[in-house]
Homo-oligomer: A and B are copies of this chain.
């Protein structure tokens, strides 16, 4: 019996690869949330020490970016809504993008800062640019527009998913409602008058309006116009 087979308590430990590490990281995130995907825990899941991961990943930020790009692969870019025009399809893609991020607030937050540069992000950009082109949006406006569209969708996902996950975020929200409703009509007349409007609408309604607003603005606003 060769020495390599003498101890077989666990399934053969697979060789470390960047892909394999990220696979495990995604699984770990799905089971325990991104906040549990630390270098140490990930190493433990891979049956090694944390130092080993630094052969494949420069730091935690790079790990999170890699996880994000993996997740972006789940966004359905081939939405074929029967009879939907380009706006309807663009809305569907962004809604789906938000849904994917919605499951992982911390990831959405990191997406706002560390732009992914992976293949799946490129594919998402391509789809959005194609839809804007189909809608006759001039090139530069479309290019700058996708940025704002994605930024809004990402921020939205970060906010709403955090509100669901952290009980603190929900408390913050209630505190804000109270502060708005209790605003003095003398000091903050507009806030007071608009207290209800400021918190009205479902997340879906807000998103829908936000995207529509952005699209209307993007179509109407030439960068050189001022």
Contact = CB atoms under 8 A, between A and B. Distances in A.
Contacts of A58: 168
A206 B129 contact: no
Given A143-B200, A191-B129, A213 B212 contact: no
Interface size class of A (residues with CB under 8 A): 35 or more
A185 to B, nearest CB: 11
Nearest to A178: B117
Interface string A157-194: 01100100010110011011011100100011111011
17 contacts: A62-B168, A109-B109, A112-B159, A114-B162, A117-B179, A126-B183, A129-B191, A130-B190, A139-B193, A140-B200, A143-B197, A143-B198, A146-B198, A148-B214, A213-B214, A214-B217, A217-B218
Interface of A: 58-59, 61-62, 65, 105, 109, 112-115, 117-118, 122-123, 125-126, 129-130, 133, 139-140, 142-148, 151-152, 154-156, 158-159, 162, 166, 168-169, 172-173, 175-176, 178-180, 183, 187-191, 193-194, 197-198, 200-201, 205-206, 208-210, 212-218, 220-221, 223, 225-226
